[in-house]
Amino acid sequence: MSRKRTQVSQYYVIAAVVAAELNHTLTYCKQINLTASNAQAASSRVGNAALGFKALTGFIDDLASYTMKAATDINTLAHSASKLATDTARAATALKHFEKAKRNATQAKYAASMEPAVTKTANLYAQLQKSFQGLITQMELQLHELKRNLRTANILASICRIEACRVDIANQATFNDVANRVDSVANQIRQRVDNAIALFDTSPSSEAA
């Protein structure tokens, strides 16, 4: 029982830190949105020579929207996990007290009357723990999925640099700046996601595996 309470407590902290990391990610997503808007405006000024680049800005915008939604969804899971961790910890404490009372009342006349309450609390604790573990697993899977999709940003940045070569020298710096910005912000987001994933790698379940 003690190990389980420790694990719940540790995951409570993990959920809180994941939420904090992904709050930063949302800020970075807004920067990508702004970068895409600036790139679109620059493409319009250049004209036909930048049509390929202009198409890329739509993909950059889509990537930012996807990342923002994924981060928001994971953040929602993290907040739900924090609340569920509290409920699970309370149920664990209640079960501990019930089991202690049951042991102390072994010779009592009405000791058997405690059994329904102990069973009910034990079932509640098991149910909460299962739901809690499900949320934690879902959160970790979505973090890995987000990290995989962020690789698209590096590909987009590389294509942006190729397209920048198609415009006149005077505008190449503008488009290369967009590519560098997408690359930089995506790396910042990836770092936040890696920080969140690393928390699960040191969790009790990972160590047991």
Residues in the chain predicted with pLDDT less than 70, given as ranges, are 1-9, 11, 202-209
Alpha carbon distance 87, 184 (integer Å): 40
pTM: 0.74
pLDDT tens readout for residues 19-44: 888 888 878 878 877 877 877 787 78
- Domain extents in the chain: 2-208
Assigned token pair, 135: 């949320």
pLDDT tens readout for residues 176-186: 888 888 888 88
Is 147 in contact with 67 (CB distance < 8 Å)? no
> Among 50, 32, 29, which Cα is nearest to 41's?
50
Residue 42's pLDDT is what?
A: 76
